Amino acid sequence: MNRATQALLDEYQKSIRELIFVIQNISDQQLCKIVDHETQDQDCKSIQTILTHVIASGYSYTVYIEHSIGIQSTRPEPKIFETINPYIEALNAMFEYCVQCFKLHPNVVIEVHDPLKKINVKWGQQYDIEQLMEHAIVHILRHRRQIEHFIFKLSEDQV
């Protein structure tokens, strides 16, 4: 595996570790409580729905990469958990799935300029593997921030 790919995986792992640090002490009640009653996005109503979305998306990014290099794979179905520990385990498993993809294909070209060789994703963007991994990292960071806000709001509600 080249250094650029390893750097991306290191940053991905760092973002996941930071997310786990934020969520590790969440109670079952906090996990499942609807915090955002106004959003139309079903993935962003509670910490539970956010984490389910984050894990499903993480698998999707790796599956997109696998498809781009000719591997036919299917994203696991999203799982909803009632406690935080299975989410932590699922985040680590999601990351390990990504690592294994790159370990099995260490010479994959991660940066391409030809638009015809980019990965077309369901939300209408085009990425090369490097850009998709960068998106995956920022996706974790954005949702970690969102969860931090939810935790703050939940703590305010208890006062």
Q: What is the pLDDT along the chain (159 residues), one digit of tens a residue?
A: 899 999 999 999 999 999 999 999 999 999 999 999 999 999 999 999 999 999 999 999 999 999 999 999 999 999 999 999 999 999 999 999 999 999 999 999 999 999 999 999 999 999 999 999 999 999 999 999 999 999 999 998 764
Instruction: Please give the pLDDT value at position 157.
Output: 75
CA separation for the pair 1, 106 (Å, rounded): 4
Instruction: Please give the pLDDT value at position 156.
Output: 84
What is the per-residue pLDDT across 105-148, written as a single tens digit (0 to 9) for each?
999 999 999 999 999 999 999 999 999 999 999 999 999 999 99
Q: Residue 132: give its domain's CATH number.
A: 1.20.120.450
Cα–chain center distance at 132: 11
The amino acid occupying position 7 is A
Burial of 35: CB neighbours in 10 Å, binned 0-12, 13-18, 19+ = buried
Instruction: Please give the pLDDT value at position 51.
Output: 99
The pLDDT mean for the chain works out to: 96
Instruction: Please give the pLDDT value at position 159.
Output: 45
User: Could you give the C-alpha distances from 8 to 46, 59, 149, 154, in angstroms and in order?
Assistant: 29, 16, 26, 33
Q: What residue numbers bound the domain in which 146 lies? A: 3-158
Cα–chain center distance at 87: 12
CA separation for the pair 153, 35 (Å, rounded): 8
Indicate the SS3 state at residue 127.
strand
Q: How many domains are contained in the chain?
A: 1
